[in-house]
Every structure is written in C-alpha cells, then in structure tokens.
Amino acid sequence: MAKLYFYYASMNAGKSTNLLQADFNYRERGMRTMLFTAAVDDRFAAGTITSRIGLTAPATMFDAATDLAALVAAEHARAPLACVLVDEAQFLTAAQVDQLAWLADVEDLPVLAYGLRTDFLGQLFAGSARLLALADSLEEIKSVCACGRKATMNLRVDADGRPVTAGRQTEIGGNDRYVALCRRHFSAALAEG
C-alpha cells in the first residue's frame, strides 16, 4: 500500500536536493514521476525545482486553486506513474493535502511532500499542519544552527540582518531573508527584534 510522506525541515536543510535525488532514483530505474512546486516560489525559473547545490528538474506549478488529484490522475491514466513528489509543500491547502492522501490511498501512488514545518514566527503553515495530521510517515531533515545544535526554526531578517517580527506569513527568499536557528537562538533573536 502506498503512503503519504512528509519530509520537513528548516530553511537550507536540503529538502529540494533530497526530493531531486528521490526523483532521480525512480527515473534511473525507468519509472515515471510527477513533480510539483509552488507557483508562489519565484526565486528561480518558474516551473522548476532548484536546489542550492545546483540540481534542477522541471515541475508542474501549483497554487491554491490547483486540483492536484485531477492532474495526477490524468497523467497516471495516460502512462503509469510510480511516484508523486511535491516541493514547497507548506504552500499546499488543507484540501490539496487531502487530495495527496487520496492519491496514496485510492490510486496507490506514493506521495513524497517536502517543505517547511513552521514560518518565521514559529507558526505552522496550513499545508504543513495538514501533512503533520495525515502523513503516514513524518521525517525531519536535519539542519544545523550556528551554535551546532539542530536548527528547527526559520528566522526572517531584514536587509541589515535584523530579525523581522511581523509581516505576511509567506515571503519568498533564501539566505538573504532567512536564517535557520535552534529554538533557543530563534527565541533570543525574536526577543531582541
């Protein structure tokens, strides 16, 4: 029986790299996959999953209105798929996560979702919250704080490197906007901000 997997981590932990490696493993064995990435993530080329170490792959973009189940079912009917992989899974809606669970349960397709667990204030994203509730397997991808402890939090910083303590939940950025920290240093940085 296929499963829904949620691989979560702080920023810069290698989530996209892990997704692209999993995709390569399937394709190397002659199996077809379908990749998705959030349309809101405009840091690199649209419709592309890009890792910080330079790996890339084309992907279908999704937004809140995308019917993932219908897209996958149509592609699976055209030619069998072995796996569905979703990058930036925190941007999924709860309904879309339900669709991914349906793909695993009814279509018997493994679904591997990769994303952030929490935002820059330590609050769950809607997609991540639903994945934490429904996924058959939850796996944390480890990252490291500057102190050497496990980084679990994402601190948003301004252009001068100062902590940002208010704003929209979604603001796309990389190392220029976010720093992965352990909970202790995250809390200290927010208190100073």
Mark the binding-site residues for Zn(2+), compressed into ranges: 145, 147, 182, 185
Mark the binding-site residues for ATP, compressed into ranges: 9-16, 87-90
CA distance 35 to 48: 9
Known active-site residue 75:
no
C-alpha closest to that of 86 among 77, 99, 76, 78: 99
Strands 4-9 and 83-86: unpaired
Neighbour tally for 166: CB within 10 Å: 8
C-alpha closest to that of 11 among 138, 146, 118: 118
Mark the binding-site residues, compressed into ranges: 9-16, 87-90, 145, 147, 182, 185
C-alpha closest to that of 143 among 161, 121, 171, 118: 118
Strands 4-9 and 111-116: parallel
CA distance 59 to 125: 22
Site of tokens 């993530």 = 41
Return the amino acid letter for 5: Y
CA distance 124 to 8: 12
Catalytic residue among 28, 88, 107, 140: 88
Catalytic residues: 88
